[in-house]
Chain A
Amino acid sequence: MRRTLVIAAALLLLWTVVSQANHALSGLHLYLFVGGLFVAFSALTQPFAPGLAASIIGGMCCDAAAPAGLFVTHALLFAAAHVSVFHVRDRIPRDETASRVVVALLTNLALFLVFSFSQVHHSPAPGLAWPRLLMDLAASQVFLALLAPWFFVLQARVLVLAGVDRESLA
């Protein structure tokens, strides 16, 4: 339980940072989506149940900021991504930061595309919406690649400080 809450608190911080970045970038009509970062660390390094619970809580935070009709869409997508990454995590060098970042980038790409395909029909001109979505995706991937190493270390350190993990495991 404590492990879940500690990771969820870190995800809440990530949500705050990203929402402030989006607030600042709104004048440029750019939007950052880092769903992959909400999932990658807990899916790659944490036990299944607390990691999945943390990913779902992170998804719920994103859902609360999305239109009411989409509630739980993020949470279910994050849960599906968590399960998929967890399933393959023993086949990748998950102790290396670079491979963690690559997993986060691939997860983010998949989540962004699934979410975009599920939402693009709301646009009055879906064909015209894609260039914007692709620009958002490119900016999000760059932002995620820059932010991910810091956030992985932050989550690991927070788990150690909370006494959930030992120093050698972080």
Chain B
Amino acid sequence: MSSKRFDPSRPFLTLGVVTILWLLIPIAVKGFTRATFFELTAPLTVAASYARDLQEYWALRMHSNSDLIAAGRDLARLNASYELAVQQNSTLHAEIGRLEDLLGLPSFAEYRYEHARVVRRELSGWWQRLVIRKGRNYGLTAGAPVIFTGGVVGRVTEVHATTAVVELLSSPELRLVGVVEGDSRPISFQGGINPTFGPPVALVEFVPLDVIANRNLTKRLVTSGLGVFPPGLTLGVITRLELGADALFQSGEVRLDERLSSLTEVTVLVPLHGD
């Protein structure tokens, strides 16, 4: 037994000192400490994601040659349709360029597509984030939009050496401006209701009174082009609208894509010009 008597108030005194010290430390030091701990844990997360990829690879190796032939045939058909779409896309781009010149409009932002594997999904009731396996090493920038085949995933909030953090569309911290497909009036969008076992739900506000949507007559909500996201990307489907407290606008719910919670790969749109 120790000869010195342990003072029972000492732990609380120590806690107080630790708290005060932390409050006095400059923000730069706190930021550095946070980045250090993130980089300390990053190799573990990345290693686990590589292990999952290997597991998936061996699972795919179990498929028979007939399965592979069928998949190759389907892919060839899909590629043929995409070839046509690419041709139409180039014609439309040329047309947009011509109209921009004619009307003196500013051109849309241009992006480089950076595909990245998802190494960790952290979808809690407090926040909704993904960690992806590309970071400063691939020139990703904070604020860059992130998309997948179903539309918008979210935006990059932190960029680290070999990883980046994406804030999901379903996160309560993410707010952006959307429009109903075929309409140009801006609507406020905020993610944040993520029930257990159910699809994520976001909220919309300032919806014009003439927009009608319900479970039987849904409306697709897309990005407006205001902010970092290019216009026309799917945010979700408006399933419910009701008159707001001010009776000037409606507010309601947007059902988000269920695949958001099981993403394995996303695409980051890296702006080609600095801003």
- List residues of chain A with CB within 8 A of the CB of B262: 26-27
A125 in contact with B193 given A52-B11, A61-B40, A64-B41 (CB within 8 Å): yes
Kindly provide the distance from the CB of B198 to the nearest chain A CB, expressed in whole angstroms: 7
- List residues of chain A with CB within 8 A of the CB of B186: none
B121 touches A26 (CB 8 A): yes
- A147 located at the interface, meaning its Cβ lies under 8 Å from any Cβ of chain B in the complex: no
CA distance A66 to B15 in the complex (A): 22
CA distance A64 to B131 in the complex (A): 12
A29 touches B15 (CB 8 A): no
- A169 located at the interface, meaning its Cβ lies under 8 Å from any Cβ of chain B in the complex: no
- List residues of chain B with CB within 8 A of the CB of A135: 196
- B19 located at the interface, meaning its Cβ lies under 8 Å from any Cβ of chain A in the complex: yes
B18 to chain A: closest residue by CB = A79
Contact residues of B: prevailing secondary structure: mixed
A52 in contact with B14 given A26-B121, A63-B37, A65-B41 (CB within 8 Å): yes
Contact of A16 among B15, B33, B48, B123 (CB under 8 A): B48
53-105 of chain A: CB within 8 A of chain B: 56, 60-61, 63-68, 71-72, 76, 79-80, 82-83, 86-87
Q: Which of A126-134, A148-156, A160-168 contacts B (4 or more CB under 8 A)?
A: A126-134
CA distance A120 to B40 in the complex (A): 29
CA distance A23 to B22 in the complex (A): 31
- A46 located at the interface, meaning its Cβ lies under 8 Å from any Cβ of chain B in the complex: no
B37 touches A125 (CB 8 A): no
B18 touches A129 (CB 8 A): no
A23 touches B120 (CB 8 A): yes
A122 touches B14 (CB 8 A): no
- List residues of chain A with CB within 8 A of the CB of B197: 28-29
Number of B positions contacting A (CB below 8 A) = 46
Kindly provide the distance from the CB of B160 to the nearest chain A CB, expressed in whole angstroms: 10
A26 touches B123 (CB 8 A): yes
CA distance A22 to B19 in the complex (A): 30
Contact of A67 among B19, B123, B125, B129 (CB under 8 A): B129
Instruction: Give the number of residue pairs across the A-B interface with Cβ within 8 Å.
Output: 137
- B267 located at the interface, meaning its Cβ lies under 8 Å from any Cβ of chain A in the complex: no
A29 touches B123 (CB 8 A): yes
Interface string of B9-35 (1 = CB under 8 A from A): 011101100110010000000100110
- List residues of chain B with CB within 8 A of the CB of A123: 172, 192-193
- B126 located at the interface, meaning its Cβ lies under 8 Å from any Cβ of chain A in the complex: yes
1-36 of chain A: CB within 8 A of chain B: 12, 15-16, 19-20, 22-23, 26-31, 33
CA distance A33 to B151 in the complex (A): 30
Interface string of A100-143 (1 = CB under 8 A from B): 00000000000000011001101111001101110110000000
Residues of A at under 8 Å CB distance from B? 12, 15-16, 19-20, 22-23, 26-31, 33, 48-49, 52, 56, 60-61, 63-68, 71-72, 76, 79-80, 82-83, 86-87, 115-116, 119-120, 122-125, 128-129, 131-133, 135-136
Known A-B contacts: A20-B48, A87-B11, A122-B127. Give 18 more (CB < 8 A).
A26-B123, A27-B261, A29-B198, A31-B124, A48-B11, A56-B18, A60-B37, A64-B34, A64-B37, A64-B38, A65-B122, A72-B22, A76-B18, A79-B19, A83-B14, A83-B15, A124-B172, A131-B196
Residues of B at under 8 Å CB distance from A? 6, 8, 10-12, 14-15, 18-19, 22, 30, 33-34, 37-38, 40-41, 44-45, 48, 120-127, 129, 157-158, 167, 172-173, 190, 192-198, 200, 203, 261-262
Q: Would you give 22 A-B contacts (Cβ < 8 Å), ordered by A?
A: A12-B41, A16-B45, A16-B48, A22-B124, A26-B123, A61-B37, A63-B34, A64-B34, A64-B41, A67-B167, A67-B173, A68-B34, A71-B34, A79-B15, A82-B11, A122-B126, A124-B203, A129-B193, A132-B125, A133-B125, A135-B196, A136-B196
